[in-house]
Every structure is written in C-alpha cells, then in structure tokens.
Structure 1
Amino acid sequence: MQYYIGIDLGGTNTKIGILDSRGNIIDSGFIKTDSNNMDRTLNLIWEKAKELLKKSEVGIEYIVGIGIGIPGPVVNKSIVTFFSNFNWERNVNLKREFEKITNIETRIENDVNIIAQGEAIFGAAKNKSSSITVAIGTGIGGGIFVEGKLISGNSGVGGEIGHIKLEKNGKLCGCGQRGCFEAYASAKSLIKEAQERLELNKNNMLYKEIGGNLEILEAKHIFDCAKKGDQFSLELVEYESDYLAMGIGSLLNVINPEVVVISGGISLAGDILLRSVREKLKLYAMPPALENFEIVLGELGNEAGIKGAVALFY
C-alpha cells in the first residue's frame, strides 16, 4: 500500500494528515505555525508527521509523496512567490526546501486550489471534467479545475476569483482595489453590511439574537435568523445571494464548468442561500452556461486541505 502526507499550512495552525492512496485519512494532527520562522515551521511539520507515522504504524518508506497547501501564489508546484500573512521570504522554492528535510517528493499549491482539487478528486465534483470551487470565508478564494488540471496561471494567481470586479469604484477590498467580488460577497463583507443596517434598524430578530452587541455578529447568526423567518435577515440573504450570483455568473460565462462547489464557512447557510443563488444566476449567466450545470456544497469540510494536498499526486 502507498501512503501520502497532506499538509494544510495556515497562519495560526498547520494541519498534517497521513492518507492512503484512496484519500482516506489514517491519522491527523496539527502544530502551531511560526509565521516568523520558515525553517522552524518546516522542521516542526516533519517531526509531527513522523510522530503520526509511528502512531499509525506506517513506515516512512511507504510514503510516496507529500502535498502542501500554501496561503499564497505558487508557480510550478514549487515556488511560493509570497506567503499571505507570513513574514517569510518571497520567491521561496518550498518544494526544494522541504525535500531537503524529508527526502520525499513534495508538491506545493495554493491552499484554495488545493481545496478545489480535493473536491474534484475526492469530493463534491468527483467524476466531473470541469469544476470551480468558491471558498467563502473572511475573503473569497477560488480554484478552477479543468480536464484533470488546476488552472494556476502564468504567475500563480489563476483562480483569484475574489478580485474580479463587480462595481466600478466600489467598496474598498483588502487587496487595495475597489469593487471586488470579495468586498461584497465574503462572510466579512456580509457581516459589515449587516452591522451597518442594524445601526439603523434594531427592531428585528437578528438584533435580539446577538443581544444588541454588533461586535459578536457572525454570518451564522444571519442565516439562522433567516431560516426562522426574520425578514431583516432574509433581506441580507438576498443581498448576499445577489452578489454571489453576479460573481459566479461571470465565472460561468468564462469557464462554463459542469459544477460550482461552494465551500468555506458561509457554505453552512445551506439551501437557504443556494436556492436564491440558483434563481439569480439566470440574471447573470448566459442560458447555455446553465444547461447541465450544478451548484453544490463542498463535501470535504475541515479535511479539504489535507485531502486536496494529496490530490496533487493524481
């Protein structure tokens, strides 16, 4: 039996998993990421991986590949042009650095591309020739998978769908530009919109749900109240679904995938959001792009990162 190590490198924690060739997780764990010291973090990852191998009774000689998901653009599954929220060097050949430590073939990819590949190989887009995964959380990331390959582009920024433009001179985005998809449809932007509305309208279930404390508001509160019929929250779902449909519709017109997979925290909204997005897509996508097309929720959840890292070898 062949085995793999999947690594999901995060700003706070790094998840590590031992997986078999079918993508099943044998064991997993995590370490605290040292965002100021790359060498220390890489060595800690390897020590944890060896600990998991020993616990799982899998010999190192049976590990045929290591996949790592990185928060940042990656070129040729090797070079990380920069690490988002990390004080690590730019243009690092992380593949080479980790292979020096492990002597095992290592492949690197952007973390959202990793999730997209995981959903394409093992999850909601399995057996589809083309899919786009839209990861919606604090920001919006994306991964485009066509005919067995990720589209990562010339300099590794392929799939940065959160920064397609929906409004000219619109809301300021974290990237420094204005009018981005992410500035309108991410969980963070939805919460900000809700807070602004709650300042003006306190006569609703949502305001009572959070006890009037706008600082603790989460997207989950909005969707939970909407499911209970709160009109104020339902209007926020309409706002979110309209911008989601606008952004996804643009992607459908360009890529024409068989399926779009919604992952990330906002996917917990479930059908109340998806139903609205499906209906509004008719306003933004060309009719042929909606033929034989599905929009679904991701299946891999918290395992998407480590499973997707292993999918780099498929």
Structure 2
Amino acid sequence: MDPHLLRTFAAVARLASFSAAARELGYTQSAVSQHIAALEADLGTGLLTRRPVAPTPAGHRLLEHTAPLLLRIDAARADVRRLAAAPPGRLTLAASPLAVGPALLAALPATGVELRVVPPAAVPAAVATGGCDLGLTDGTAAPSDPLRLPDVAPLAVTGVAEEPLAVLLPAGHPFAGRAALRLDDLADARWLDAPHVGLAPPAAARTTPALRYDGTDLYALCSLAAAGHGLALLPRRVAEAAAARAAGAAVPLAGTRLVHRTELITPRTPAPAAAALAARLTAPA
C-alpha cells in the first residue's frame, strides 16, 4: 500500500470530507478522490461511503492499521536521517508532566536544551519520528518492571527513577488524616480523569470518574484535587508538595506493589548532545 494513499484516506476519514482533506493536504479534490479510488482498487473493497463520508467496516479495520503504519514510516525516515548527519540546532527533550522531576532537573545543562512537556503517550512517537532528540515518560508499574510503551520504532528504553505513590485529596476529606490508604479504602472514590498529566488510578479503585481535565498543567490538576473535584494519584513527593501549597492532604498508598516509574527513551543512534544528557540521566545517584 502506498503511504501517500494511506495518509489521504486517514485525512478523509478523520475530517469526513473529501474537500476538507484536499485543503489540509494541499491537493485538489479530484486528486483526493483518485487516491481513495486507487486504494480501494488495491484492496478490492470499498473503504468509504460517499454520502455521508464515513468509513465502511473495511475502512474501520484499515484505520486500525493506518496510524501505526504511518508512524513507523516516519520513524524509519527519522532514524536514517540521524545516521546521515547529527541534527542541527538545540537539543530537544520531550517529557511528560510527572517525568519533570529531580533526576531531570539535576541533569539538565544550563543552556542548549528545549524542553517540551507533552502527554505521556506522545513521548515515544516524538522521539521515534525525530521531533525530539530524547524523551522521558512515566506511569505506574511494579518495582523494576518496565512501562508498557507502544512499539512505534526500535528505541532504547532505560529506567531512570521509581518513587512511592500517594493520593492527593482535599484537607476536609474523611481520609485526610489517615497514615496510609489501601485500594480497598478507595473502591468507591471519585477520581479525576486527567489522561494527559496524572496517573490512572489502579484498576481496583477505578470505579467513579469525576471531573475530566484535558490539560498538561500539573499545578491545575493538583488544585482541582485539593479543591475536592476528585482524587488524584501522584508520586508521593509531588502529592506532598501540592498538599502543602494548595491546602490539601497527601496520603501514601499502601498495600500495593505499584510505584511511579520514569523511563528514558532514546533513538538507537542519538546525537552526541543527546547521548551526553542520557548518560547524566541514567547515571547512578
């Protein structure tokens, strides 16, 4: 399958319009129609209905493959370009909000780095496609277990730090005075839904979602939790700092082997500046 045709198909399906896809891609509407017809001829089945424009069952199935295929192509292009020449300009680091912790702050040089804070799920793709030189992402895992990251390209993944977890809640919450909380205590709790910045609560406690926060501002998430809009699961150091700042309460999570884990993601052939920063991030404390 021609990747150009796949990109056109993905755009038409996402925008539900041949003309809108043509404007976005810089093609004529006739060219977009020809791309879709060529792809349907190649696969021997219809992929889009025309009125309204929507994926057929076969189109939905192809969409499941399209994004990973196109991402892998972009990753291959970036990998070859890294071998051809070291990328010019500043060193660019993608980091999820909760990965911006003590290890990173201690390792960052004073100048020459651009830090991009992005959702955890966006970090592997940012490194794989060459948008960033290296990345830091985070999540919950059992001690010493790797995070479950998407297989977007051949990348090197190294554990950087593991920290205990705590629950951030308002100072007036019935659990605020506890020395620790167990998952059984939280079975009926209301949790903030913050997929781009916070940690998902353990499955055993994930029963009642509260307010949804779509941003990446960690301060905003902590303020929402302290104000009573829902509980937040955080690294203990973050929860304690937020509780002190926003008049909330940070209670350690006990009775579980889960920890907050931060991992470094690098390409197979990092530029010298990226390799140097990676070495500082993974050096023994």
Common fold by TM > 0.5? no
Return the TM-score normalized by structure 2: 0.28
Return the TM-score normalized by structure 1: 0.26
Larger CA Rg, structure 1 vs 2: 2
